[in-house]
Structure 1
Amino acid sequence: MEVIDNREITDNVFILRLELTENALKPEPGQFYLLRPDSGYDPLLGRPFSAFRWNNDWIEFLIRKTGRGTALLSTFRPGDHIRILGPLGRSFPPHSPHKTPVVLAGGIGMASVYSLTLKHKAEHIFIYGAKSATELLLTEDIRPRVRELYLCTDDGSMGFQGNVVEFFTEFLKKTSSHSIVVYACGPEKMTKSLMEILKKYNIESYLSLEERMACGLGACMGCAKDTKTGMKRVCMEGPVFNIEEL
């Protein structure tokens, strides 16, 4: 697909916008795509990225430069072409009208859960955390799309001083656990801590797991995750899991 725009928003994060062809399938919140250069085989395997924003004409990916593959994608310019495979994986399910959706995003995990606000504007309580204020991305884009936005930073440079899970623990002291449904994505450490709280209070929850993927199609088993019912492939049975499965 053709690159429409490639915009750097911090020193190591950029938004890649690709043209969507007329017959292209549109993603659902939480699904991902495999991206790699249109020519050559270096890198050989596509890199998985959550669908961030889209409309009928284009799709965007929020990408952090973490290695050779993502650094290469950051160099693409309008008119260049990228191979794209997707949408792949299981998406976030819609929430019950009787429950308030609460979104928890840690770091670049925001890319996966932001798309929940595209369909249901001004319904979500959005809790977003990063190490410092400079790593909180696109907060002014999020704010008008959600009912409430709470920001957290480890160093206290913006919002609540502490991480997303610590803020959520305080949030639960004033909220009925049975009146909310949680959607979350973030680093593994955050997810593990969050799962303990969600299970303790028996909160309906859906987590998008961050795992390294190779083929993205379920063949290599490189992203297999141990669940209550055996090993599950994050790229196929996930990346979104009901907490009752984990």
Structure 2
Amino acid sequence: MVIPVHDVNPARGTPYVTYALIATNVLVFLYTPGLAGSVAGDSGLSQLCHLQAFLDHYAAVPQELIHHQMPRLVPTGEVGAGTHGPGCLVSAPDYDKSPPLSVLTAMFLHGSWLHLLGNMLFLLIFGNNIEDRLGHVRFALFYVACGYAAGYGFALLNDSSADPLLGASGAIAGVLGAYLVLYPRARVWVLVPFLVFLPLRLPAWLVLGFWFALQAVYSSGGGVSTAGTVAYEAHVAGFLAGMLLAWPLRRGTPPPPEPRSLLWGRQARHGW
């Protein structure tokens, strides 16, 4: 796995929507009930119960999206005593939940700092150029559309799942798909873990193509023992949606500037 850190593809304007999305994701994470304690190192049962209650309310659930089967009992956020010891209390939900709207709210929820920072890094690196090409309003609509494609794509393949789906990665995967279509020759600085992190400048088609290939393999169950908590199918669906939406714009998109930076201490003539 390679870690992108910077692309050699300057945008013409300020990516206000990209910055606003990053700021919103960070603020939502900081104010998510049950996560404040985990940030400070305290992840007790009370914190877990508050987090479960919040996610059941605002995260997307495949079973709800496809079959509109709302749960009869949901966590209340309180801790109670049970036959097997303390646990999270459940009761009938005291709120009305809109499954389609939950796809939107789920795009701004994250379960950990690592989950959040990884997503925001990809959005920061690749989002500015897509916003530059689409414009602020169209980019915002594009981002949401890819998030919905990812959420419903995952739900269709996992329609019996009652586990909450959350995170911006589906929408950001759409940004990556659009970047691959519009700027395949742009250079991306990445860190490759090989005993130490080696810096390399690679073409976007290789970096993003490799990333998508990994998601496709993992979504089919290959290369991992279990799917775990990562919604690889959502990544694949979002990426393909981003490619399809960006495809009509590829001919009118100017190529990225040819980089003239140093590579391994020498002037790179051709680069990647």
User: Which TM class, normalised by the smaller chain length?
Assistant: under 0.3
The alignment's TM-score, normalised by the length of structure 1, stands at 0.27
More strand per residue? 1
Which structure ranks higher in relative contact order (CA pairs < 8 Å, sequence separation ≥ 6)?
A: 2
Structure (1/2) with the larger helix percentage: 2
